[in-house]
């Protein structure tokens, strides 16, 4: 057996805490569902007709994962950094072409997440038909609470909300997802062999908005918990 040697120490595996456990969940990939609440799709000027559309996704580097409670720098090259409060599904078992009725078998647990977004760059890219990476794959932008183990549980409803500096900005219910959790897992698994440690940010409800340095964000999903973030000053 040979020992692999590296030029420099490899980047540690991105991971998130697990509620009630000393063991952390190693993150494999980060998937995000776009436009998965009607009222948010409308506020983005892109209404969704489920009868003729399918869900779509973007990804971020797993290295963007950021623990709840962090203070993160206001990112470079934006003047419109937005919050998006989301329910996060943690996949616990490998699966490809998963039937919706079997989707629960692949769920390890849930977390509360923030899909922080350079909205100005995302919209400019969208409107020019360019990739969303500069708008979405932002360092420190995938905020995630501790994973709450709920193996086999499909969350179908529950309040989801976000407050900035104590003022509620987003308030909806997980039952308003356009593509629900079973449907998202089934559809995403047509494109990817899902793996343990894949996290799926399921989409944000309406009310997204900009933050400024000093803002404190607190989000909740009923039955899951809380995620917090403080926006710090821009990097020098």
- What does the block give as tokens for 225? 């918990």
Sheet strands (E) in the chain? 15-16, 25-26, 30-34, 56-60, 65-67, 70-73, 81-83, 85-91, 107-115, 117-118, 142-144, 148-149, 159-164, 167-173, 199-201, 209-210, 216-221, 225-232
**115 belongs to the binding site for Mn ion (CB under 5 A):** yes
Contacts with Mn ion by CB under 5 A: the residue count is 3
Residue 114 β-bridge partners: 85, 143
Q: Phi and psi of 25, rounded to 5°?
A: -90, 115
Instruction: Please say which residue, 25 or 162, places its beta carbon nearer to Mn ion.
Output: 162
CA dist 123 and 121 (Å) reads: 6
Binding piece for Mn ion, criterion CB under 5 A, among 73-81, 95-103, 153-161, 200-208: 200-208
- What does the block give as tokens for 109? 């647990």
**Least separation, in Å, of the C-beta of 70 and Mn ion?**
18
**Least separation, in Å, of the C-beta of 49 and Mn ion?**
20
Q: Using CB under 5 A, pick the residue from 89, 204, 208, 221 that binds Mn ion.
A: 204
**202 belongs to the binding site for Mn ion (CB under 5 A):** no
**137 belongs to the binding site for Mn ion (CB under 5 A):** no
**Least separation, in Å, of the C-beta of 201 and Mn ion?**
6
**Least separation, in Å, of the C-beta of 97 and Mn ion?**
25
Alpha helices (H) along 31-145: 38-43, 119-128, 133-136
Instruction: Please say which residue, 95 or 136, places its beta carbon nearer to Mn ion.
Output: 136
**Least separation, in Å, of the C-beta of 44 and Mn ion?**
10
- CB-facing half-sphere around the CA of 201: CA atoms within 13 A: 30
Tell me the per-residue interface mask from 82 to 111 with Mn ion, x by CB under 5 A, - otherwise: --x---------------------------
Position of minimal CB gap to Mn ion: 115
Residue numbers of the site for Mn ion (CB under 5 A)?
A: 84, 115, 204
């Amino acid at each position: 057996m040979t020992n692999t040697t590296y030029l420099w120490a490899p980047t540690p595996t991105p991971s998130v805490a697990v509620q009630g456990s000393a063991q952390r969940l190693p993150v494999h990939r980060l998937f995000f569902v776009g436009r998965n609440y009607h009222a948010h799709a409308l506020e983005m000027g892109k209404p969704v007709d489920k009868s003729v559309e399918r869900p779509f996704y973007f990804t971020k580097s797993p290295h963007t994962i950021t623990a709840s409670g962090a203070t993160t720098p206001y990112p470079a090259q934006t003047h419109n950094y937005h919050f998006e409060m989301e329910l996060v599904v943690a996949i616990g078992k490998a699966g490809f072409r998963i039937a919706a009725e079997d989707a629960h078998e692949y769920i390890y647990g849930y977390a509360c997440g923030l899909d922080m977004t350079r909205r100005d760059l995302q919209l400019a890219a969208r409107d020019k038909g360019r990739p969303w990476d500069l708008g979405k794959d932002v360092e420190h932008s995938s905020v995630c609470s501790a994973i709450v183990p709920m193996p086999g549980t499909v969350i179908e409803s529950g309040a989801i909300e976000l407050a900035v500096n104590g003022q509620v900005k987003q308030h909806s219910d997980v039952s308003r997802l356009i593509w629900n959790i079973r449907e998202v897992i089934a559809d995403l698994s047509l494109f990817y062999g899902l793996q343990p440690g894949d996290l799926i940010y399921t989409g944000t409800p309406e009310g997204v908005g900009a933050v400024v340095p000093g803002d404190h964000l607190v989000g909740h999903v009923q039955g899951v918990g809380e995620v917090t973030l403080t926006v710090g000053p821009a990097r020098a």
